[in-house]
Amino acid sequence: MQLFESFFGLIGDLTWGWALIPFLVIIGVFFTVVTGFVQIRFFRRMFRVLSSKNQTGDPNAISAREALLLSVGGRVGGGNIAGVAVAITLGGPGAVFWMWAIALVGMATSLIECSLAQLYKRSEGDGTYRGGPARSIIHGLGKDYRWLAVLYAICLIASFAFGFNAFQGNTVAGAAEESLGIGRLWTGIGLTVITGLIVFGGIHRIAKVADVIVPIMAVGYIAMALIVILINVTEIPAALYMIVANAFGFEEAVGGGMGAALAQGLRRGLFSNEAGLGSAPNVAATADVRHPISQGITQSFSVFIDTIIICTCTALIILLGDVYTPGDEALTALS
């Protein structure tokens, strides 16, 4: 066990620490600047590309809306609840501001990577498509870089198998144990069975299930959050001021001040919205749309939904309640 902890600790230091986070931020800012702030210029178009006019007319194809909801289902999870709680606990309320900032930057990153996935996708001949970063590498950079595509695919599979899925499963199992008294093992078995029934039905079954579950999940959570926010509506200006003031070091909530808020906001924001990770492009490539950029714009919108809307709801619930105490790790345990 110690060997595994040391190994994954090393992986975490190489990626989660000084290497991956600055790279994703820098590349996101670069994409934002060279595209002329495309995520702002095309924001209204993000809604229009969901219409049926953007489809090619193939009834067997995955629609833009289904691809959007499937990617939202992948982005939204424990990172939007436990991740926000951890960010606020370790970085203070200002971490939320930097989560917003990295989401705006990540919208440009997601637009670029998902447009490339559409551009280099390949038809399976049955109305479905395959694509993503690995295929973009092969067909974009050439077959000489096939080794890089294989390496990327292995890393992505490993990150979901041992990282994201383990985190999400542990969060759900912990919540079920604390609130309902259900053992973690039984929750894990239940999640495995349900997920297996969906996943082994292929991309069409996954898309259809996401088309039903994700709107219910997102709308239900946002509705509950709005109830809490409306009950405490007079406290919202103070909460927003707390977020901005702590983000720029005017009010230090935890040790490290602005630096802690910035670091935690960037980390948790990137973990939550997954922009630049390469997971969403695999979903984006399955959609049948008239132009690659249409799906890029749609997937950019999913980052907005994930962080700007859902993570903000979580943050306001925490800050408007009585559970937050600066530097108190009990909040993380409650999550």
What is the Cα–Cα distance from 91 to 264, expressed in whole angstroms? 5
Beta bridge partners of 129: 123
Q: Which residue has the higher pLDDT, 37 or 286?
A: 37
What is the Cα–Cα distance from 259 to 282, expressed in whole angstroms? 34
pLDDT digits over 9-43, tens only? 666 666 665 566 777 788 888 999 998 898 888 88
Record the tokens describing residue 221, joined without a space.
Answer: 């959570």
Q: Which residue has the higher pLDDT, 288 or 58?
A: 288
- Write down the pLDDT at residue 42: 85
What is the Cα–Cα distance from 79 to 11, expressed in whole angstroms? 19
Q: Confirm if 272 and 311 have CB atoms less than 8 A apart.
A: yes
Summarize the confidence of residues 85-102 as an average pLDDT. 85
Distances, alpha carbon 273 to alpha carbons 103, 201, 245, 297, in Å: 7, 26, 24, 15
303: pLDDT strictly greater than 80 = yes
- Residues 6 or more apart in contact with residue 304 via CB below 8 angstroms: 46, 103, 107
Q: What are phi and psi of 174, to 5 degrees?
A: -65, -40
Summarize the confidence of residues 167-196 as an average pLDDT. 84
- Write down the pLDDT at residue 79: 65
Summarize the confidence of residues 78-86 as an average pLDDT. 73
Amino acid at 162: F
Q: Confirm if 247 and 121 have CB atoms less than 8 A apart.
A: no
- Band of residue 295 on the pLDDT scale cut at 50, 70, 90: confident
- Write down the pLDDT at residue 333: 46
* Percent of the chain topping pLDDT 70: 79
Summarize the confidence of residues 61-75 as an average pLDDT. 69
Summarize the confidence of residues 277-294 as an average pLDDT. 81
What is the Cα–Cα distance from 331 to 127, expressed in whole angstroms? 47
- Write down the pLDDT at residue 33: 92
217: pLDDT strictly greater than 70 = yes
Summarize the confidence of residues 177-197 as an average pLDDT. 86
Amino acid at 173: A
Q: In the predicted model, what is the mean pLDDT of the chain?
A: 78
Question: pTM score, two decimals?
Answer: 0.78
211: pLDDT strictly greater than 80 = no
CA atoms within a 13 Å half-sphere pointing along the CA-CB vector of 67: 36
DSSP 322: S
- Write down the pLDDT at residue 78: 62
- Write down the pLDDT at residue 328: 55
How many domains is the chain built from? 1
What's CA 51's distance to the chain center, in Å? Answer: 23
95: pLDDT strictly greater than 70 = yes
Query: Which runs of E-coded beta strand occur in the chain?
Result: 122-123, 129-130
Summarize the confidence of residues 101-121 as an average pLDDT. 89
Record the tokens describing residue 243, joined without a space.
Answer: 């977020």
Among the residue ranges 30-39, 147-156, 173-182, 321-330, the one predicted with the least confidence is: 321-330
Among the residue ranges 56-60, 165-169, 239-243, the one predicted with the least confidence is: 56-60
160: pLDDT strictly greater than 70 = yes
- Write down the pLDDT at residue 332: 47
Q: Confirm if 86 and 264 have CB atoms less than 8 A apart.
A: yes
- For residues 198, 200, 203, 205, the Cα torsion angle rounded to the nearest 10 degrees is -40
What is the Cα–Cα distance from 253 to 96, expressed in whole angstroms? 13
Summarize the confidence of residues 57-85 as an average pLDDT. 68
1: pLDDT strictly greater than 60 = no
Structural domain range at position 58: 2-334
Summarize the confidence of residues 280-293 as an average pLDDT. 81
Summarize the confidence of residues 144-155 as an average pLDDT. 89
Record the tokens describing residue 122, joined without a space.
Answer: 């390949």
**Directed axis angle between helix 64-75 and helix 202-231, to 10°?**
60
